[in-house]
Amino acid sequence: MKNENYFTKGDKTVDPPQTFFHLKGAANIWRIIPFLIAALILIPIAVVFSSVFMPANDVWQHLVETTLLTLLINTFWLALGVLTGSALLGVSLAWFTAVYEFPGSRFFSWALLLPLAIPAYVTAFVVLGLFDYTGPIQTNLRTWLGTELPWFPDLYGRSGVILVMTLAFYPYVYLMARNAFLTQGKRLLEVAQSLGLNQRQGFFKVSLPMARPWIAGGLMLTLMETLADFGTVAIFNYDTFTTAIYKAWFGLFSLPAASQLASLLILIVFVVIIAEQQFRIRMRYAETKRSARVDRIALSGWRSSAVACFAASVLFLAFILPIIQLSIWAIQSLMESFDQRYFEFLFHSVLLSAAATLITCFAALLLVYAARLYSDTTTRIAVRIATIGYALPGAVLAVGIFIPVVWVDDLLNAWWLKLFQVEIGFLIQGTLGVMLIAYMTRFLAVGHYPIDSAMQRITRNIDEAAMGFGLTGWSILRRIHLPILKTGIFTAAALVFVDVMKEMPITLMTRPFGWDTLAVRIFALTSEGEWEHAALPAVTLVMAGLVPIILLMRQTDK
Amino acid sequence: MSTLLKINQIQHCYGNHKTFDDLSFDLQKGEIGCLLGPSGCGKTTVLRCIAGFESLTAGQISLNGVAVSDSHFSLPPEQRRIGMVFQDYALFPHLTVAENIGFGLHRSPTQERKQRVIDMLKTIGLIEAADRYPHELSGGQQQRVALARALAPRPDLLLLDEPFSNLDITLRERLSQEVREILKNQQITAILVTHDQGEAFSVADMIGVMHQGKIMQWDTAYNLYHRPANRFVANFIGQGVFLPGKVLDLGMIEMELGVLSKDIYHHCESDQEICPIGSEVEILIRPDDIVYCPESSTQALITHKAFRGAEILYTLKLASGMTVLSLIPSHHDHAIGEKLGIRLEADHVVIFSKALLTYHSNSQFSAWSE
């Protein structure tokens, strides 16, 4: 996560392409590509925004009067709760594993990332199933006590959602903060000590303030995920903007109202995006060299046991317990779930993910090459816009893409009717193509980052050195670029594939009728409380989700 | 003068590997000491033990007569009143220059802290950079800020870990002079760690040459050069060659460049005044011991020359095939392959018993400082 600034390219000259794209006509195409891709993102944003100015219709009026205040309050408390929880868990765990030696510290330093493999909505239904009145915990407590329980925490509510999302999202803060603490190294803490501060004072006066941009960056990612989340809040029946958009569209059948809700959500998201950019810029200034020594301070006695217990219980709650419960359910329901239809869902998921991965990585490669050929300001802005989709909630994108699609469909229909007096029905909406474009806009940043980092390693001098040996055009591409970019492309593909597989709101809202995937299946089953039957698809998603986590772990040092 | 720091037979281990063993030296109040040695000789670890970042496996470190480290006990670094300047300066990137310097004064009242920061900024001549951030400073400026930050809380002892190694050569020389002046003006006791002998000579009063976890000699720069205690120091400090010689009657020594009388040499490795007659010895000849003398009977072949401005360093081959170095004023410019008349002109030389290993004899070496 070191070179996260997309701004600073190796060299900033705007010379005409000196590399292997010598064709004059081709150069112009490369100039346009970033703008075309950026437009794909800007259209849904513009569509959703424009609905702010739409005349208020009845449905919207109804929503404003009945639910809007609740949505705002719910969103506010959810965001506050998840941010607080993730900050506490993420920063403390990052500090312990980066600086101290305690039993299992090496294990925990990578294992604490594992919860990222479980989609939040899976953790959600596992927690609900576990702590339900009929769930194993309450049932066992009742038989053990031989009486009704006088009181049991009610997880169907704000605290439950906050708990689940904190357990699911704290690794973002953990990852960023740990990276910051590791790059600081022990050195600055030693400086603080040589200036008369003890270790605790050193943490609060040096390490924590220095890690602030990273921690804030991690928190902004967490906030984006929280605002974008659909599955978790749907399972908890905790209404936020994403579920309200879904209900307005599929419950009240009002796409305009959904769009107006989406425009409010996008306003909130924009504030977050701007904040995140600011922190990212500050991270660059505060960056220090990674110190060569990674020896950690040994904790002794009760402190080391306390820290180990803390790390273990977080890992247990966020990963081990859900996995155990999922496995039990999956085995129990194996006979019923493991049928023809399971393979159909799996096939749909894999097909969609593979196709989306292909076009996303292709678009990312185009972007990276275009930015390599032209590194002027406008191109760089276009690239940034093109990769902003990671911040847009899937529900917003779904609405923003669907509205213009419906519009084009209607237009085509009208023309056809005028010309041939025949109804052709809808050509575009409800096709996989719409879904794939939505996925690409959402996950382009995920695919762009690893490929872009790999490209940073191919300097212009490398190209020129290759040309000095008489290589040209395609042979440079094949013999120099491809081998260097290979791992970057592979990482990008793995990340996008898994993200699409876990994706819920876009799939749910734009899929062709009856085209169910594993994620959609989980949504359908959990909305009826059938936790056990949702376990097998969930286990499948978790196993896929482990792939990018393993990739990530290989990058972080142990 | 009183002893400020006493290092008594200390030992340190990383796992099973002994970083250093049985290491001792003292430092007087106001004195600047230096640990000089090739990289990997353990000198930085000694510094970290004194600062309290590493613990000892044997021996004792005491400061002002009070033990701060032994094999069972280690006073936390923050309670030692020892300042440290790190090799990479380790300035706090999120604080301004003034905030960096004031960082260690967190217990002083605000007014006093402000005054001290201003004083330190004046001392290092960076008063106008007070509100800048470390990344806006040049390497030399960062170095001075790191020094000021370490000095601000008035530590009893200052430790400098390769403080000039990240700077370019010209800046290195100027800054090392400046640092010495600041330390002397403020009467700071300090220990410097470096692999660069030029740096050690220009900053330190006392220098300890370290090799494989041992201090080979703890002495002044003059004595390290002119009276090396052993072959390693003779090799490591300055340039020179060893020429073979034979002990004659009355303690005189005969060698290719002439006969040495008893009063101009001393034996480094033994206390004996006179070596047994007939025993073989080796004499350390520095480049400045050999002077140009056209009418001399000793004619040597020039095999190599390096122009140094005022002088030329000639590598010369003697009739016996032995090689010597000679520093000759550069207006005596001769080409490689020519013969040059030379003469030994030394007030004092050191001799060693003949080396057991043959490769030591007449091995030409150049110093680390090059």
Digit-coded pLDDT (tens) for A123-159: 999 988 888 777 777 888 888 887 777 777 777 788 8
Does residue A324 register a pLDDT over 90?
yes
Question: Chain B interface, mutation test: which of A99, A181, A194, most B Cβ atoms within 10 Å?
Answer: A194
Query: CB neighbours (10 Å) of residue A416?
Result: 15
- Quick one: pLDDT at residue B326? 92
The pTM score is 0.77
Residue B151: list chain A partners with CB under 8 A: none
pLDDT tens digits along A397-426? 999 998 888 888 888 888 888 888 777 776
CATH architecture of B3-231: 3-Layer(aba) Sandwich (3.40)
Q: Which of A5-9, A488-492, B50-54 has the lowest mean pLDDT?
A: A5-9
- Report residue A96's pLDDT band, with 50, 70 and 90 as the boundaries: very high
A487 touches B at CB < 8 Å = no
Does residue A18 register a pLDDT over 50?
no
- Report residue A362's pLDDT band, with 50, 70 and 90 as the boundaries: very high
| B311-317 β-sheet, strand order | B290-292, B339-344, B299-307, B311-317, B323-329
Q: CATH topology for A23-556? A: MetI-like fold (1.10.3720)
Q: Between residues B369 and A372, which one has the greater pLDDT?
A: A372
Say which of A188, A193, A212 has its CB closest to residue B92: A188
A208 touches B at CB < 8 Å = no
- Report residue B361's pLDDT band, with 50, 70 and 90 as the boundaries: very low
pLDDT tens digits along B70-126? 988 989 888 899 999 988 888 888 889 999 999 888 888 999 999 999 999 998 999
CB contact under 8 Å between B92 and A191, yes or no, is: yes
- Quick one: pLDDT at residue A285? 57
Say which of B84, B88, B106 has its CB closest to residue A194: B84
**Could you give the 3-state DSSP secondary structure of residue B323?**
strand
Does residue A514 register a pLDDT over 90?
no
Residue A190: list chain B partners with CB under 8 A: 51, 53, 77, 84, 86, 90
Q: Compute the count of residue pairs across chains A and B with CB atoms less than 8 Å apart.
A: 67
Does residue B274 register a pLDDT over 80?
no
- Quick one: pLDDT at residue A286? 55
Measured in angstroms, the CA of B218 and the nearest CA of chain A are apart by 26
Look over chain B and give the mean of its residue pLDDT values, rounded to a whole number.
86
Show me where the domains of chain B are located.
3-231, 239-361
Does residue A9 register a pLDDT over 50?
no
Average pLDDT over residues A14-21: 45
To the nearest whole percent, how much of chain B has pLDDT over 70? 94
CB contact under 8 Å between A210 and B153, yes or no, is: no
- Quick one: pLDDT at residue A229? 92
Residues contacting A264, CB < 8 A, separation 6+: A241
Measured in angstroms, the CA of B93 and the nearest CA of chain A are apart by 6
- Quick one: pLDDT at residue A504? 92
pLDDT tens digits along A412-470? 888 888 888 777 776 777 788 889 999 999 999 889 988 988 888 888 778 888 777 77
Look over chain A and give the mean of its residue pLDDT values, rounded to a whole number.
84
- Quick one: pLDDT at residue A1? 35
Average pLDDT over residues B188-195: 93
**Could you give the 3-state DSSP secondary structure of residue A19?**
coil
- Quick one: pLDDT at residue A353? 93
Average pLDDT over residues A97-107: 89
CB contact under 8 Å between B106 and A194, yes or no, is: no
A335-369 core/surface letters (b: 16 or more CB in 10 A; e: else): eebeeeebeebbebbbebbebbbebbbebbbbbbb
Kindly list the residues of chain B whose beta carbon comes within 8 Å of any beta carbon in chain A.
Answer: 51-53, 76-79, 81-84, 86, 88, 90, 92-94, 103-104, 106-107, 133, 135, 149-150, 153, 159
CATH 1.10.510.10 assigned to domain B239-361? The reply is: no
**Could you give the 3-state DSSP secondary structure of residue A307?**
helix
Residue A283: list chain B partners with CB under 8 A: none
Question: Chain A interface, mutation test: which of B78, B84, B116, B151, most A Cβ atoms within 10 Å?
Answer: B78
- Sign of CA pseudo-dihedral A149, A153, A154, A160: negative
Say which of A190, A196, A209 has its CB closest to residue B104: A196
- Quick one: pLDDT at residue A283? 66
Does residue A524 register a pLDDT over 70?
yes
CB contact under 8 Å between A195 and B150, yes or no, is: yes
CB B23 within 8 A of CB B214: yes
Considering only CA atoms, which of A166, A170, A175, A163 is closest in space to residue A94? A175
Does residue B368 register a pLDDT over 50?
no
Considering only CA atoms, which of B195, B196, B164 is closest in space to residue B179? B164
Query: CB neighbours (10 Å) of residue B11?
Result: 17
A300 touches B at CB < 8 Å = no
Average pLDDT over residues A376-380: 86
Residue A284: list chain B partners with CB under 8 A: none
- Quick one: pLDDT at residue A311? 95
pLDDT tens digits along A49-62? 888 777 767 777 87
- Quick one: pLDDT at residue B362? 40
CB contact under 8 Å between A196 and B84, yes or no, is: no
Nearest residue on chain A to B91, alpha-carbon basis: A188
